[in-house]
């Protein structure tokens, strides 16, 4: 099976802009989780979607949102970008094995 | 809230030697999963090993094994016969196992950077 794919891999934006990141899970996996990784805060949970429904949300402002489509692909959106949003955004998918498999990440730089 | 602590920010090991990375966690739950993930410079997070808390037997995967001490809330990773390709950041992670499986959130430690010297 193909692994988790994330697009784009790299992104440069300026403050105030918005950005959309995409994640395609492993075929057959219905759960997609998003994490933000920064040197200061480490890995932090953003949210998790299962069958197009958000089941869990981390402690992030409302500027961070997401959605999941019927084919399990997920997108996350960050509006009104701030310098502190610069990070590696990781997506993970989970099937019936209770293990999350991660994509290669999208590195977002906000200038 | 669950917390995961990795007390060793950096470790180093000689090639072919054995190294142990430490992880402790805090939870009031009795059923949960613990994981070790590896993140090499490519930044791809790779699963190393998984342990279910209800299993007393320690998990092993080839050269990787864990020492799971549930009462002490300790979950260390032992890497035997270390190889240059083992050099990476290693993260310990916790996931609660709730009924219905509706909570897939992983809580991570801060990571341990492992260097393997030739």
Q: Count CB-CB contacts under 10 A for residue A108.
A: 20
Is residue A67's pLDDT more than 60? Answer: yes
Average pLDDT of the segment spanning B96-109: 77
Closest chain B residue to the Cα of A31, Cα to Cα: B104
Residue A107, C-beta contacts closer than 8 angstroms, at least 6 positions apart: A9, A10, A11, A87, A88, A89, B43
Say whether A92 and B107 touch across the interface (CB within 8 A).
no
Say whether B106 and A94 touch across the interface (CB within 8 A).
no
Contacts of A94 in chain B (CB under 8 A): 104
Closest residue by Cα to residue B60 from B47, B51, B73:
B51
B4-52 pLDDT, tens digit per residue, is: 999 999 999 999 999 999 999 999 888 899 999 999 988 889 999 999 9
Residue B97's pLDDT is: 78
Q: Count CB-CB contacts under 10 A for residue B83.
A: 11
CA distance B24 to A49: 28
Pairing of strands A87-94, B19-21: unpaired
Question: Between B44 and A4, whose confidence is greater?
Answer: A4
Q: In the numeric block, which tokens belong to residue A81?
A: 């970008």
Closest chain B residue to the Cα of A94, Cα to Cα: B104
Query: B85 vs chain A: nearest CA distance in angstroms?
Result: 18
Contacts of B35 in chain A (CB under 8 A): 99
- Chain A interface test: which of B5, B61, B103, B106 (most A C-beta within 10 Å): B106
Contacts of B105 in chain A (CB under 8 A): 33, 45, 48, 56, 58
Percent of residues, chain A, with pLDDT higher than 90: 88
Residue B102's pLDDT is: 59
Query: A78 vs chain B: nearest CA distance in angstroms?
Result: 20
Under the banding of pLDDT at 50, 70 and 90, the label for residue B112 is very high
Contacts of B95 in chain A (CB under 8 A): 98
Residue B29's pLDDT is: 87
> Distance between alpha carbon A41 and the CA centroid of its chain, in Å?
16
Q: Count CB-CB contacts under 10 A for residue A79.
A: 14
Query: B75 vs chain A: nearest CA distance in angstroms?
Result: 17
Is residue A98's pLDDT more than 90? Answer: no
Is residue B101's pLDDT more than 60? Answer: no
B53-94 pLDDT, tens digit per residue, is: 988 899 999 999 999 999 999 999 999 999 999 999 999 999
Question: Between B102 and B38, whose confidence is greater?
Answer: B38
Q: What is the mean pLDDT of chain A?
A: 94
Distance, first Cα to last Cα, chain B: 41
Closest residue by Cα to residue A3 from A105, A107, A108, A77:
A105
């Amino acid at each position: 099976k193909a692994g988790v794919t994330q697009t784009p891999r790299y992104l440069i934006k300026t403050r105030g802009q918005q950005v959309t990141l995409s994640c395609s899970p492993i075929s057959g996996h219905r759960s997609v989780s998003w994490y933000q990784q920064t040197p200061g805060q480490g890995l932090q949970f953003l949210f998790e979607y299962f069958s197009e429904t958000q089941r869990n949300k981390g402690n992030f402002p409302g500027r961070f949102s997401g959605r999941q489509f019927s084919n399990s692909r997920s997108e996350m959106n960050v509006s009104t970008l701030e310098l502190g949003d610069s990070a590696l955004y990781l997506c993970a998918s989970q099937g019936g094995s209770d293990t999350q498999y991660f994509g290669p990440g999208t590195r977002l730089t906000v200038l | 809230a669950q917390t995961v602590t990795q007390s060793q920010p950096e470790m180093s090991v000689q090639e072919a030697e054995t190294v142990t990375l430490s992880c402790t966690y805090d939870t009031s739950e009795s059923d949960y999963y613990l994981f070790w993930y590896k993140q090499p410079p490519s930044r791809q997070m790779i699963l190393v090993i998984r342990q279910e808390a209800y299993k007393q037997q320690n998990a092993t995967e080839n050269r990787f094994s864990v020492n799971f001490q549930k009462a002490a809330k300790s979950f260390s990773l032992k890497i035997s016969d270390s190889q240059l390709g083992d050099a990476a950041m290693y993260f310990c992670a916790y996931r609660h196992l709730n009924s219905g499986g509706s909570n897939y959130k992983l809580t991570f430690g801060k990571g341990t950077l492992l260097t393997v010297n030739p």
